[in-house]
Chain A
Amino acid sequence: IQLTQSPSSLSASVGDRVTITCRASQGISSFLAWYQQKPGKAPKLLIYAASTLESGVPSRFSGSGSGTDFTLTISSLQPEDFATYYCQQLNSYPFTFGGGTKVEIK
């Protein structure tokens, strides 16, 4: 299963609403997770089961979708949110990742 993220990068300002899209090449139900990775650090789980917020993750992050189309939304971008975001499908092996979306400061 291929996952296509868009855009591959974006520039945004603090306080902006940001939406990242992940499209699967075939239906994956809700077996989708989102991760945040900062330079030189390991990824961090943000959302699983497409829309369930991982414990401890700020509520400005939200996820939606099922089947083939998914979105990650950051309602009000904060300075610490500038990072690269990845989606991952866990519907079938191999558990592929999307190509990533780099969120940069405008």
Chain B
Amino acid sequence: EVQLVEAGGGLVQPGRSLRLSCTASGITFGDYGTSWVRQAPGKGLEWVGFIRSKTYGGTTEYDASVKGRFSISRDESNSIAYLEMNSLKTEDTAVYYCTRTRGMVRGGVINYNALDVWGQGTTVIVSS
């Protein structure tokens, strides 16, 4: 069974750090990218950032709201992705989902087209 399981959420004070993990099973981890998406209480979905698979350089992209504070990485050998969150703000309070990012290769270039597998989410509360 294809599965993503997030962990590491909790209550943290503003300005502090937290690291979330996302463990994949039943997936050929290295073939796909990983995105993180968050959802503040009662609000819509917000894309946080993305890491390409090692095959495509392992590089990252971030939303402007988290760029410079958040960092995404992957441990390919253990099929785990991480979201390192620093200088946390109250507005970072949300459920954080990791997702498998699927794409299609054309002419040697990959175009991502869907977040096709989602974890159950982990809750981060930033409050003093």
Per the bound structure, the CA–CA distance linking A99 and B42 in Å amounts to: 12
Contact A94 B63 (CB under 8 A): yes
- Of the stretches B19-27, B68-76, B79-87, B112-120, the one at the interface is B112-120
Given A48-B113, A94-B63, is A99 in contact with B118 using a C-beta cutoff of 8 Å?
Answer: no
Contact B47 A45 (CB under 8 A): no
Contact B47 A95 (CB under 8 A): yes
Whole-angstrom distance between the Cβ of A74 and the nearest chain B Cβ: 19
Given A42-B118, A42-B120, A43-B118, is A94 in contact with B61 using a C-beta cutoff of 8 Å?
Answer: yes
Point out the residues of chain A lying under 8 angstroms from B93, CB to CB: none
Point out the residues of chain A lying under 8 angstroms from B115, CB to CB: 33, 35, 43, 45, 88
The size bracket of the interface on B is 20 to 34
Contact B50 A95 (CB under 8 A): yes
Per the bound structure, the CA–CA distance linking A90 and B102 in Å amounts to: 11
Is the CB of B35 closer than 8 A to any CB of chain A?
yes
Is the CB of B32 closer than 8 A to any CB of chain A?
no
Name, among B64, B111, B113, B118, the residue most crowded by chain A CB atoms within 10 Å (CB to CB). Answer: B113
Given A97-B45, A99-B44, is A48 in contact with B35 using a C-beta cutoff of 8 Å?
Answer: no
Whole-angstrom distance between the Cβ of B87 and the nearest chain A Cβ: 19
Name, among B47, B111, B114, B120, the residue most crowded by chain A CB atoms within 10 Å (CB to CB). Answer: B114
Hey, what's the 0/1 contact readout for A66-106 against B, CB within 8 Å counting as 1? 00000000000000000000101010011111111000000
Per the bound structure, the CA–CA distance linking A37 and B44 in Å amounts to: 10
Contact B47 A94 (CB under 8 A): yes
> What are 5 pairs between A and B in contact, CB < 8 Å?
A42-B118, A48-B102, A48-B114, A94-B62, A97-B45
Name 15 extra pairs, CB < 8 A, besides A33-B113, A88-B115, A97-B46. A31-B112, A33-B114, A42-B121, A43-B115, A45-B115, A45-B116, A48-B102, A54-B114, A86-B45, A93-B50, A93-B61, A94-B61, A95-B47, A97-B44, A97-B45
